[in-house]
Structures are given as structure tokens and as C-alpha cells.
Structure 1
Amino acid sequence: MTDDKKKEIVRGTRPRRERIEVWVTTEEKAELVERAAMAGLSQSAYMLAAGMNHPIRSVLDLRAVGELGKVNGDLGRVAGLLKLWLAEKRGQGARPTDVEAMMRDFRKLQDELTGIMGRAVRGY
């Protein structure tokens, strides 16, 4: 078949006319299939991304970022409830300076979590 007559496959937005074959062992194929699944990509898309040296992010990494986001939100809610409780029970329990120090620590932790999530999403 000549180059002019090659079958054109259109998937996504780009027509593809070329194919590359890669010979692998059974174990290598199993690992590539597993890695593609972990990245949430088809085998073809995974191999193309790897071959073009594009970052490949694991679906698990993105799930972890989602979980960190939930923890960050929970931390904010706990800090808000603590502040509300202390405002209603003024003078009973912790000293205001201790409360302010704890609130600063909560905010610092939230900032750190946000930074970690940002780096994970960008692929460091």
C-alpha cells in the first residue's frame, strides 16, 4: 500500500496515518498495560505520551489531590467552628493569644496543603 492509499484513522481531533510497532516481552506488555490503566489512558495514548516525553500523571495522584482538598476544607471548617465556639464562650478556657496562635497554625497548614496540591497537579 502506498503512502497515498494508507487508511486514515481519526480519533480525537487529529487524523493518524502512521503506526509504530514495538516488540516487548509478556512481562513488559503487562507492565505497560498496568501503567496506562493507572494513568487513566489507553495503551496507545500512554505510549504516545511516553514516546513524546510528555508528563504522565497517575489517576491515583489526582485522587490524592482531591483527598487533600477535602482535608484542607475540613481543616478550615474545624478552625471556623473553634473560632465560633471561643467567641461564644469568651473568657472560658483558652487564652486569646493561644487561640490566635492556633488559628495562625491552621492557616499555615492550609497554605501548605494548597501548595502540595498545586505541585501535584502541575507534576512538580
Structure 2
Amino acid sequence: MDQKPPLPKTATRKNSPCIRVWCMPEEKKLIDQNAKNVGLSTSTYLRNIGIGIEVKGILDQKAVGDMAKVNADLGRLGGLLKMWLSNDERLAMFNQEQVKASILEALGKIKTAQDELLKTVKRL
């Protein structure tokens, strides 16, 4: 009767050695909170830091989403301004003061959106 050799176990984190870290209760709370802030488990957070992987938080992802929204707003406002400036028929319907007021309002909104985008970039 031939006996087959046992198949080698594939290494997984669950069957690999565990590292224990001794810390004070306050330190554990802080580590747990930092892990939660970046959307990781405490184990994954500590492992990533320990092997030199940059911890990227969910706040970074949120900031990128915020910047994309502001960028879309700027595109829409730019399109609106372009439409106002290139459509002579539409401009003829309004007096010069109404056109000027509308353009200044659009420029103000663009400036506000740019400021919002700059704030978001500085947060990163």
C-alpha cells in the first residue's frame, strides 16, 4: 500500500505566527482609534506600519471625491460662462447690466469653488 506524502499547507495569515504587542490601555485605545480612522482593522493597521506600507486613510479618499465634485462644479460654471459669452442671440435678450451681473455672479461662484478646492488640497 503506497502512502502519499502530506500536502504542504499553504501559508495564510490565520495559520502563521502571531505577534503580540504589549501596551498600556490608553495606547491600545489610541492604536485602535487610529486604525478605525483609516478604515483598517487594528491587525492590518499595525502590520502595514510594521512592514513599511504607507497607511492611506479613508479621509484621503473622501478628499479626492470632494475635489472631483468641486472640479465638476468648476466645469459647469465655466460652461455656463462660455455660453453667456458666445451666444449673441441670448445676450441680445438682456440689457448690458443684467449680462454683467450674471457674468460677475458666475465668476464669483468659480472663485468660491476654487477656494474650496484649494482648502481640500491643503487638507491632504
For the pair 1:39 / 2:38, whether they are aligned, the reply is yes
Shift of 1:10: 3.7
Query: Which amino acid is 1:48 matched to?
Result: R
Q: Kindly report the root-mean-square deviation, in angstroms, between the aligned alpha carbons of the 2 structures.
A: 3.2
Q: Which residue of 2 aligns with 1:80?
A: 79
Task: Specify the code of the residue in structure 2 equivalent to 1:83.
Answer: K
2:62 aligned with 1:63: yes
Q: State the Cα distance separating 1:33 from its structure 2 match.
A: 0.5
| Larger radius of gyration between Structure 1 and Structure 2 | 2
Greater share of strand residues, 1 or 2? 1
Runs of 4+ in 1 over 3 A off after TM superposition: 8-11, 90-94
| 1:31-54, Cα deviation, whole Å (9 max, x unpaired) | 111111111111110010011111
Structure 1 residue 69: Cα displacement: 0.8
Question: Shift of the alpha carbon at 1:82?
Answer: 1.1
**Match of 1:19, as an amino acid?**
C
- Give the TM-score normalised by the residue count of structure 2: 0.62
Partners of 1:16 and 1:55 in 2: how far apart?
25
Normalised by the size of structure 1, how large is the TM-score? 0.62
Partner residue, 2:29: 30
Rounded Cα–Cα distance in structure 2 between residues aligned with 1:75 and 1:27: 45
Q: Deviations over 1:44-78 (max 9, x none)?
A: 10010011111001111210111111001101110
Structure 1 distance, partners of 2:11, 2:41, is 16
Aligned length: 96
Percentage of identical aligned residues: 37
